[in-house]
Chains A and B, each alone.
Chain A
Amino acid sequence: MSTSTPAHPAGAPAATGSGASAGTLFGILAIAVLLAAPFGVYPVFLMKVMCFALFACAFNLLLGYTGLLSFGHAMFFGGSAYVCAHTIKVMGFSPELGILAGVVFAAALGFISGLLAIRRQGIYFAMVTLALAQMFFFFCLQARFTGGEDGLQAVPRGSLFGIFDLSKDINLYYLVLAIFVFGFLVIYRTIHSPFGQVLKAIRENEPRAISLGYRVNQYKLLAFVLSAALAGLAGATKVLVFQLASLTDVAWQMSGEVILMTLVGGMGTILGPIVGAAVIVTMQNYLAGLGEWVLVIQGVIFVLAVSLFRRGFVGEVIAIIQQFKAKKAG
């Protein structure tokens, strides 16, 4: 079977009945593991994985479930990071308000850039988002409050609601875990909502969705704003973890990295971006000693992933499970 559709949502129909309860069980198990994890693994590393996993999940909402390839998501991730870092460090915001400010900024930026980008389709959409993100990059490079090449360093972590001291990694870890689970649930619910059904319809066949009376641009815009806000949530959370907002966060490489994570893990699957983010972040961390070679290895993995597992790691696993089920049934 060779369908020409690029987005292949493996496993979309299977998420009912026994699939749902198995999913709940898996979710509980995963959260239990994550709750215990910081006692076995370096918490800062886990927090970094969760920040990027949330970023990739937010991106996947757009690429995997709406069929829109944004090449400028770094502007939401990094823009929110700058706003969060600035409000906390310079204006003395508490960490929760700093994150909120970052998310609001990302959503607003998403609304404006979304309005401009969704008028175009396919590669032109990607180019408009890239152009806007580049403009934003130069703005951040020139603006005074971003600290230019130095970025904003030594952002105080403060204490959450004035109670929990976030300078302790373990406390921060549980905050990041809560944010990650919250973000993930928002995305999960969005995908499995009446709105999510329309998004999938637009991804599958946009002209047909229009002919059924859907004003598709409004749906795309809302998806874009949601995706931008959640990417912003990830970026702002990252500031607390590393106490840093820098040009790296808004550079186009960051936009590329999130595409890479999503594709390696499996776009259009709910867990794919998480796996992809874990793979890429792990590689960057453990291969850091190899210097520039990390990029080469990353490239090789990407080429291998795209040519061997076209649906990404998770996508392939789902396809195998489905084949197995089909065999058992017929």
Chain B
Amino acid sequence: MDTVSDVPYIVEASGLTKEFKGFAAVKNVDLRIRRHTIHALIGPNGAGKTTCFNLITKFLEPTRGTIRLNGKDITRTPPADVARLGMVRSFQISATFPHLTVMDNVRIALQRPIGNSFHFWKSETSLDALNDRAMALLADVDLISYAKHLAVELPYGRKRALEIATTLALEPEMLLLDEPTSGMGREDIARTSDLIKRVSEGRTILMVEHNLSVVSDLSDTITVLARGEILTEGPYSEVSKNPQVVEAYMGTGGAH
């Protein structure tokens, strides 16, 4: 592992391009994410943020370019295996299992590494050994009182919290959060923002986020995308003064 942590960048994408029937959603993007930082990806609608996300997590195959995770080439690795390497993503629309209980949602994630997931002849009570850890994870995000509810019954903000608890159950090295605060009220935004800060301890986070106050508050580095290309990159204080960014953002009326 020592040799691995010598690599300053956990993710290195170079020349990343994705074309859909001749239209390039992402063009020649070089993205490097420094270990143990929070890195934000911003840009107007249609800038290619989510496509970038899908490419890095391998939910989409890049047309060109390479992706490295901890120095290992994952350009041709299937998405489930990328998750096994410690890079776990969330989704823009809430990613829970709606008709499973909150507890079962977390247990699904805890269950995978113990290797009994193909055992169709075993009772599900064999999973009860995971309950304590599941409860601890739920306690971390204030969801204990909801443990027995179906995920679909949770208020929106709480669903996002459940998603983060489920993700953390895998003890990922790297988290990708797709618009973690979108559609939330002020109070939920503050709570989620705190939660992200808390879980970033010892981890790397890449997030797509529209709320600029959250971005300025949390991120160490910001990459601005426009029309599928990188406009600029740097800390918030620099990026926010860049006239091109101001134009790209304000020009479309997409700023908050």
Interface residues of A (CB under 8 A from B): 3, 5, 7-9, 12-13, 189-190, 192-198, 200-201, 204-205, 207-216, 218-219, 222, 226
Contact = CB atoms under 8 A, between A and B. Distances in A.
Given A210-B80, A212-B83, A226 B152 contact: no
Interface string B55-94: 0010100000000000000000011110110001111000
Contacts of B81: 213, 215
Given A8-B99, A204-B97, A205-B96, A212 B109 contact: yes
Nearest to A218: B118
Nearest to B54: A207
Q: Looking at A12, A190, A208, A216, which has the most chain B CB atoms within 10 Å of its CB?
A: A208
Given A197-B127, A204-B99, A205-B98, 17 more contacts: A12-B150, A190-B120, A192-B123, A194-B116, A194-B119, A195-B119, A195-B120, A197-B111, A198-B117, A200-B99, A200-B100, A201-B108, A208-B97, A211-B79, A211-B90, A213-B88, A215-B81
Contacts of B83: 210-213
B126 interface: yes
A75 B146 CA distance: 45
B99 A213 contact: no
A200 B80 contact: no
B107 interface: yes
Contacts of B121: 189-190, 193
Size category of the B interface is 35 or more
Closest 3 CB pairs of A and B: A213-B83, A204-B97, A195-B120
A318 B88 CA distance: 36
Nearest to A5: B98
A214 B120 contact: no
A9 B104 CA distance: 14
B62 to A, nearest CB: 17
Interface of B: 57, 59, 78-81, 83-84, 88-91, 95-101, 104, 107-109, 111-112, 116-124, 126-127, 148, 150, 152, 166, 170
A213 B124 contact: no
A189 B123 contact: yes
A212 B98 contact: no
A207 B118 CA distance: 19
A205 B95 contact: yes
5 contacts: A9-B99, A190-B121, A195-B120, A204-B99, A215-B81
B117 A195 contact: yes
B172 to A, nearest CB: 10
A219 B118 contact: yes
Contact of B118 (A7, A204, A216, A222): A222
A197 B104 contact: yes
Nearest to A268: B99
A214 B82 CA distance: 10
Nearest to A198: B117
Q: Looking at B99, B101, B107, which has the most chain A CB atoms within 10 Å of its CB?
A: B99
A190 B97 CA distance: 19
B175 to A, nearest CB: 11
Contacts of A222: 118, 120
Contacts of A7: 99
Given A204-B99, A207-B59, A193 B78 contact: no
Given A212-B166, A213-B83, A198 B95 contact: no
Given A211-B89, A214-B112, A193 B96 contact: no
A27 B109 CA distance: 32
A211 B120 contact: no
Contact of A197 (B88, B90, B91, B124): B124
Contacts of B90: 211
B123 A198 contact: no
A194 B124 contact: yes
Contacts of B109: 212
A196 B107 CA distance: 13
A208 B170 CA distance: 13
B57 A211 contact: yes
B52 to A, nearest CB: 16
A207 B99 CA distance: 16
Given A13-B150, A200-B97, A210-B80, A193 B111 contact: no
B124 A193 contact: yes
A52 B228 CA distance: 55
A208 B106 CA distance: 12
B111 A198 contact: yes
Contact of B170 (A189, A213, A226): A213
B111 A210 contact: no
Contacts of B80: 210, 213-216
Nearest to A192: B124
Nearest to A61: B120
A208 B95 contact: yes
Q: Looking at A9, A207, A222, which has the most chain B CB atoms within 10 Å of its CB?
A: A207
